[in-house]
Amino acid sequence: MEGEFFTKGGFLYEEAQFLLRQEPRNYFLILRAIADGRRRLGEIANETGLDKAAASRYLHTLELLGLVGHEIPVLEPPKARKRLYHISDNYLAFWFGYVQPRRALVEQGMGDAAVEEVKALFPQYMSRVYEQAARRAVQALHPGYRVGRQWGKAGGKAYEIDVMAVGPRGDAIYGEVKWSEAVDCAEEKERLREKALPGLRPAALYIFAKSYRRRGPGCLDLADVERIVDTNGI
């Protein structure tokens, strides 16, 4: 990591800048804004100084290039405006999230210090990647279901469900993703059950973790997810 990402002249340190060198600077600003957590159109526009119409056009181009994607709550219609943008290219997501903010350290020859900072934050990055893999696994296990993430408000309180799949008969599958070890599956399932939304019959509950202290049905680890995704070619 230090040699390629956090050293001047390192291939993966320079590559993101090379890829975007010929593009308008606004693309760079938008990607940096998303990496900094500005995921709604209005937030991106405010952060970059662009008006919403211009920001929307640039985002559309980045989506066509496969560099940016968006998600909407799985219970919302496909064209809903309640969308959150993310950097869909994993290399650029890592570079803008972890390398770009530490360029000053790299330029001073302190790549080792940058690496130590990133090591402490790496579980945060892997949690996002593991969520994506968990949703792919649920899609493989339940073809025909609409799979995604769900967030919103219920009873005046904000909630977020890492993985949710909605079936054709109004049933729902719920999943919680924990990029951590020694997880108690029964405890996590009970917490997840409390998130069940009214009007949708819970058909299954899944917990995704690195490893478990106590395990049971529907408790999947990283090896399980890899096997399911690879077997189904998803």
The size of the chain, in residues, is: 234
CA angle 176, 155, 151 (to 5 degrees): 35
Q: pLDDT tens, 90-149?
A: 899 999 999 999 999 999 999 999 999 999 998 888 999 999 999 999 999 999 999 999
- Per the CB < 8 A criterion, the answer to whether 67 and 35 are in contact is no
CATH topology of domain 2-109: Arc Repressor Mutant, subunit A (1.10.10)
Every domain of the chain and the residues it spans:
2-109, 138-232
pTM score, whole prediction: 0.85
Closest CA to 134 of 160, 94, 162, 154: 162
Q: In this structure, what token pair is assigned to residue 155?
A: 């009873």
Q: What CA–CA distance (Å, rounded) separates 26 from 187?
A: 46
Q: In this structure, what token pair is assigned to residue 220?
A: 């999947």
Closest CA to 5 of 124, 125, 100: 100
Q: Report the mean per-residue pLDDT for the chain.
A: 92
Written as tens digits, the pLDDT of the chain (234 aa) is 889 999 998 999 989 988 888 777 899 999 999 999 999 999 999 999 999 999 999 999 999 999 999 999 999 987 788 899 999 998 999 999 999 999 999 999 999 999 999 999 988 889 999 999 999 999 999 999 999 999 998 878 899 999 999 998 889 999 999 999 999 999 999 999 999 898 888 889 999 999 999 998 999 999 999 999 888 765
Q: What CA–CA distance (Å, rounded) separates 165 from 174?
A: 7
